[in-house]
Amino acid sequence: MSAEDTIRKTVTENAVVLFMKGTKSMPQCGFSSRVAGVLNYMGVEFADVNVLADEEVRQGIKEYSDWPTIPQLYVKGEFVGGCDIVTEMTISGELDTLFEQHGIVFDKAAADKIREANA
């Protein structure tokens, strides 16, 4: 299976996927840590893909999304964005809306706390 096939299968078989450096329990870069931390804090169940473990996937995900950086968040097969976009969406409430639209379970009170802390 090609890297593109593996990526496509991963994003279509999981409601929420984070392609990141490291894992959700052991991020290996600050940007990946930030996005995984937001998702973990909000209680979102998500698949994590450690791009450092597979160079083909690391390069392939950039081509798949036409986005040059990692981490990359996908919800229901759609590319959402990287660290800056996910951070902005969290603070604005857009991430809550996206999760609600797609039936993704998350802790609304935790999301509100993130916004309060960044107000």
pLDDT category at 1 given cuts 50, 70, 90 is confident
Which two three-digit tokens encode residue 86? 């996910």
Can you list the domains of the chain with their CATH numbers?
Answer: 3-117 (3.40.30.10)
pLDDT at site 114: 95
Percent of residues, the chain, with pLDDT higher than 90: 97
Q: How far is it, in rounded angstroms, from Cα 29 to Cα 62?
A: 17
Q: pLDDT averaged over the chain?
A: 96
Average pLDDT over residues 1-19: 95
pLDDT at site 119: 83
Which stretches of 51-93 are DSSP H helices? 55-65, 83-92
Query: How, if at all, do strands 47-50 and 16-20 pair?
Result: parallel
pLDDT at site 42: 97
List the beta strands (DSSP E) in the chain. 16-20, 47-50, 72-75, 78-81
pLDDT per residue as tens digits for the range 30-82: 999 999 999 999 999 999 999 999 999 999 999 999 999 999 999 999 999 99
Q: How many CA atoms lie within 13 A of 82 on its CB side?
A: 14
Q: Is 29 within any annotated ligand binding site?
A: yes
Sheet containing 16-20, strands listed edge to edge, beginning at the edge strand earlier in sequence: 47-50, 16-20, 72-75, 78-81
Which two three-digit tokens encode residue 64? 């798949």
